[in-house]
Structure 1
Amino acid sequence: MDLFDVVVIGGGPGGYVAAIRAAQLGLKTACVDAFERNGKASLGGTCLNVGCIPSKALLDTSEKVEVARHDFAEHGISVGEVNVDVPRMLARKDSVVDKLTGGIAYLFKKNKVTSFFGLGKFVRQDADGWVIDCAGTEVKAKHVIVATGSNPRALPLAPFGGHIVENSGALAFGQVPGKLGVIGAGVIGLELGSVWRRLGAQVTVLEALPGFLMAADDAVAREALKQFQKQGLDFHFGVNITRVEQNDAGVTVTYTEKEQEVTAQFDKLIVSIGRVPNTGGLNAEGVGLTLDERGFVKVDSHYRTNLPNVYAIGDVIGGAMLAHKAEEEGVALAEMLAGQAGHVNYDVIPWVIYTSPEIAWAGLTEKQAKEKGLSVKTGQFPFSANGRALGHGDPRGFVKVVADAGTDKILGVHLVGPNVSELIGEVVAIMEFGGSSEDLGRTIHAHPTLSEAVKEAALAVEKRAIHM
């Protein structure tokens, strides 16, 4: 029976990164993963196979369609009728996924990570380690990392199947739906709803919460909602789904809104109401692995479970269900197992929604800071005053900086606008080192760039913005 220093159960962003980093640090490492795509083993988990990567590929394609149909004329470009070849679009998306998932297999080989395809589960603990069933092959591990991720949460009234889909199904529609319903106005609902709206679907979004993007800064949420409504997305908030019926023609959803009962007919229905931890098949109960009341694996601040030398990271432990959060936990834990001091700063995790306009933020909102009793000052700068945004033809949105009124330390930065997913990184770096709005405002930014809006918003904290 092979003995490994580390066995990672799960090959998603947290798991594969943990495995690679552990191997880099000289630990004999194995990773077992059961994810299949198109009937074949495929590393990368939900994110690379049916989440982050394919959705961004479709968002990019659909954005190009939108620009060609509505924005080229303003640039003096004349085109004929713009048609969409959906099968070819999906094939391109799959090719992007293939490159990246194949890349992980290459990295495993390069770093000498042993890979098993299939389910991984606990068998027993022996004197010299854990016996782990890796897809039918028993191995021993001195340390075990559980990184099994999460699954889409189903709506009890609308189990997945047929015309009712979760994220993976919404990435593979064979044709553009005429009428598309989306339950849940979160990241997945907004992104996938945007894809098919741009391609011609009539999209209705049903949200149980009373407001839009309540985790984001109020000003950003208002601006984003305004832009999405202008694009034709039809939002309904504070709704209560009472009945979902499916037939050959589509899905009928009955819900109450403002005490009125409404019935809507859709060709397809995306249910995006969150995710649940994936612990099935681990034999957690058999070995006494403690889960919390919601099914997440319980860990301490060093990712240790209640079992000796068993750890967990990523979606399966809760918190922000983000690929980059899982990756950083994987790196930190691997370094701890190698005797180093791994660390993740959860206060500066960036959040991004890849719609158009994009939305991004890190740190506290203005409201959250005030609720903590902090005295704050803010600065805001619109992309409509940014030369690169105007030249690009997309001056929507703004950058908002929230700083401590006493120390000037940046507490949070919130953006809505063009390519803000790429702008949030510099802010996170400044925040990671406890930087101030003055630090950000005095940093030289190339001209003309979108990033100058970040600099100007930082200057605006002290009413020093130059171009506003």
Structure 2
Amino acid sequence: MIDVRNPQDGFAALRARISALGDPVGDDRGADGEPLTVGEWALLIDDIVEHPDQNTEALWNVASPEEDDREYDAIFIGGGAAGRFGSAFLKARGGRQLTIDAWPFLGGSCPHQACVPHHLFSECARELDLAKHMQGKLWYPEFDASKASILEIVKLFRAGRGMPHAIMNWQSKEQLGMEYILNAAATVIDEHTVEVDGRRFQAKNLVLCTGARTDFPAEISGLDRKGVYDFASLIEELDEEPTRCVIIGGSKVALEYGSFFQATGCQTTILTRSPLLRTASLHHVDEGLRDYVIDMMVDRGIEIVEGAQTLDVLGDDRVTGVRYRDANGEIVEVETDFVFVGTGERPDLRMYEPLGLKIDDRGFVVADATMRTSVPNVYAVGDLLGPPMEMFKARKCGVTAARNIMGEHHEFDFSEYPDFFHTTYEVTWCGLSEAEARTEYPNVIKIQMPPDDADPESFALPAAEGSMLYAFTRPILSGWLKLLVDADSRKIVGAHHVGYGAKDAFQYIDYLIRRPEGFTIDQMADLNELFLNPEHFIQLSRLRAGQMSLVSL
């Protein structure tokens, strides 16, 4: 056990151990007797992650009986987004919590293997895409694909990921006052008891927050060969530069990582059984948005095979190809040295078998809107509940559980939300698709750029930061947008955008249009745009808001 809360030596021995690992970033060292700094935390976490077999001691930040002798209101099993935010909220409301995680850090897979590297990769994809498009123009040199290395970008992420972990460990202890035990797996005994690091803890409630992992299809043979990766193993295990990529699956992860691989110059094929962007886990995807996204992926050279049933990953020890049955029933083989699995995620619930939880037919935990499961005093949150597998849902589920544990009845409905993903673009939407809107409302108008009757190759809207060079060199690449309005009530019912920089706006547009009173085209027009604004919705609404009887633009 490593006590990071009240070590008997006043942190001297622990600080000496960390100092032996090297110098913290910015020489961020604590004084004698003071808790670990962020820089020292980063060194400690990196050492444990890089040498797990040599660092098996649990990290304890648990209050002594003299500090707090109350019974725990909740034990949070898992310290990712749901567990950390739920713990912080419960602590802020005066409760006592204990958070347990098998990793040596809080924050979960997002900063370690998932959303943070995904955003790094997407930023690289955007930069590489522009460099390829602009090669030989202005100051841009000819594009050299040999210098765009997937492996080097992965190594860049690996080298820097310790700092976000360190910030969360430090913040959770020093600013949020949380108690936690890290680098130690929890064993669930019953609905009130958890064992960790050889000691049993009891609480009034358990909150299950262990997330989900890639669902590797059992019917596809050869997924255990070297050269097969998912989002997590790509970070941990990639050791050679891929030259040809096949992606199995049509999830958002498949589109995002496929666009990144293609942007580096690694020819990529996506094999998907279902049509892209029409899966059950994605809702309100507009057909116009879908068409533009797929057309632009194909324009970048990605091969998309819909209706494909992947059969085998071929090779001996290492991957040499993938075999699939196409939509016509023909068997096709594709040569590759790199397979990426993007078939969605499922939780591993074996550790919760002693609880006897009710599980749905998809393999997710059944819980109500308060996050209560079928077992009294046991809550489940985040990815354990199924799609959407999104950060906002995980965090708010954790907070919802904490609020109910502390006596406040609170429900969280995550059936409606703004959504996004990346290709080389930022793709964002909220509200209804055009088809859904026309089914629900008799009189729908749309504001769309480029309009349906315009030639997109010569129509440079939308254009703003991030797309200006495309707009002036090949306008069709500058983006696409659509705003949907119920003309009778004048309320906005859907918004869709492909481009750059509009994601922040959609967080607020979604809130506004879902208010009971809604958000009208007139109210949108009355906002003050920071021109050139990426989504263009304000000024385009203003061009139509003067009409008593609205028509499309």
TM-score (norm 2): 0.75
The 1:348/1:147 distance shift into structure 2, 3 A limit, reads same
Letter in 2 for 1:63: R
Counterpart-to-counterpart distance in 1, 2:508 and 2:90: 28
Distance across 2 between alignment mates of 1:348 and 1:399? 20
* Residue 139 (str. 1) matches residue 201 (str. 2): yes
Per mean C-alpha deviation after superposition, the further-off stretch among 248-257 and 440-449 is 248-257
Partner residue, 2:349: 279
What is the distance in 2 between the residues matched to 1:43 and 1:403?
A: 43
8 Å CA contact 2:525, 2:545 repeated in 1: no
d(CA) in 1 for partners of 2:405, 2:193: 19
Q: 1:147 to 1:463 in 2, by over 3 A?
A: farther
**101, 104, 111: which one aligns with 2:168:** 104
Are 1:391 and 2:479 counterparts?
A: no
Change over 3 Å in CA distance of 1:135–1:381 after alignment to 2: farther
Structure 1: 5+ residue stretches without partners: 36-40
Whole-angstrom distance in 2 between the partners of 1:212 and 1:325:
20
Report how far residue 400 of structure 1 moved: 1.3
- Give the whole-Å Cα distance in 2 for the aligned partners of 1:140 and 1:275: 31
Aligned to 1:430: 512
Does the 8 Å contact 1:185/1:213 carry over to 2? no
Q: Which residue of 2 aligns with 1:5?
A: 73
Q: Is the 8 A contact 1:254 1:261 kept in 2?
A: yes
Distance across 1 between alignment mates of 2:447 and 2:413: 24
The SS at the match of 2:504 is: helix
CA distance in 1, matches of 2:505, 2:166: 29
Letter of the 2:263 partner, please give it.
R
Within a 5 Å distance, the mapping from 1:294-305 to structure 2 comes to 294-305=362-373
Distance 1:212 1:325, change over 3 A: closer
Does structure 1 residue 291 correspond to structure 2 residue 370? no
Change (3 A) 1:458 1:328: farther
- Provide the C-alpha distance between the structure 1 equivalents of 2:537 and 2:198, rounded to a whole number of angstroms: 53
Contact 1:403–1:409 under 8 Å retained in 2: yes
Q: Distance in 2 between matches of 1:211 and 1:242?
A: 19
Q: 1:38 is matched with which residue?
A: none
| Counterpart in the other structure of 1:121 | 187
The structure where strand makes up a greater share of residues is 1
After superposition, the C-alpha distances for 1:320-348 in whole angstroms (9 at most, x for unaligned) are 11122111222222223333454535354
The 10-residue stretch of structure 1 (329-338 or 184-193) with the greater mean CA deviation from structure 2: 329-338
1:162 counterpart residue number = 226
CA deviations over 1:378-427 (Å, ceiling 9, x no partner)? 22234823452553545522221223343233322111112333332231
Equivalent residue letter for 1:398: W
Contact 1:20 1:107 in 2 (8 A): no
Q: Give 1:337's match in structure 2, choosing from 405, 409, 413.
A: 405
1:195 to 260, 270, 274: 260
Are the structure 2 counterparts of residues 239 and 301 from structure 1 closer, same or farther at C-alpha, using a change threshold of 3 Å?
same
| Bigger radius of gyration | 2
Whether the 8 Å contact between 1:359 and 1:417 is mirrored in structure 2 is yes
How far has the Cα of 1:43 moved from its partner? 2.5
> Which one of the candidate residues 321, 329, 337 is aligned to 1:267?
337
Asked if 1 retains the 8 angstrom alpha-carbon contact of 2:248 and 2:272, the reply is yes
Aligned residues: 455
Q: CA deviation at 1:313?
A: 0.9
3-state SS in 2 of match to 1:333: helix
Match of 1:89 among 153, 164, 185: 153
1:444 matched residue in structure 2: 528
> Does the residue aligned with 1:444 lie in a helix, a strand or coil?
coil
**C-alpha contact 1:155 1:271 (8 A) present in aligned 2:** no
CA shift for structure 1 position 207: 0.8
2:538 pairs with one of 437, 455, 461: 455
User: How far does residue 252 in structure 1 lie from its aligned partner after superposition?
Assistant: 2.4
CA distance in 2, matches of 1:18, 1:392: 44
Preserved contact between residue 228 and residue 341 of structure 2 (Cα < 8 Å): yes
Note if contact 1:183-1:205 (Cα within 8 Å) is conserved in structure 2: yes
Rate the CA distance shift 1:457–1:273 in 2: closer, same or farther, 3 A.
farther
Closer, same or farther in 2 for the Cα pair 1:115/1:364, shift >3 Å? same
Structure 2: runs of 5+ lacking an equivalent: 1-64, 451-458, 472-476
Aligned-CA RMSD value: 2.8
Query: What is the 5 A alignment of 1:21-36?
Result: 21-35=89-103
Look up the SS of the partner of 2:351 in the other structure: coil
Bigger Cα displacement from structure 2, 245-254 vs 386-395: 386-395
The answer to which of 107-116 and 368-377 deviates more is 368-377
> What's the TM-score, normalizing by structure 1?
0.88
Residue 383 of structure 2: aligned partner: 315
The question of whether the paired residues in 2 share the 8 Å contact of 1:57 and 1:96 is answered with no
Structure 1 contact 183–189 (Cα < 8 Å) conserved: yes
**Structure 1 residues 446 and 420: CA distance shift in structure 2, 3 A:** closer
Letter in 1 for 2:499: G
Give the secondary-structure state (helix, strand or coil) at the position aligned to 1:368.
helix
**1:68 aligned partner:** 131
1:113, CA displacement in angstroms? 1.4
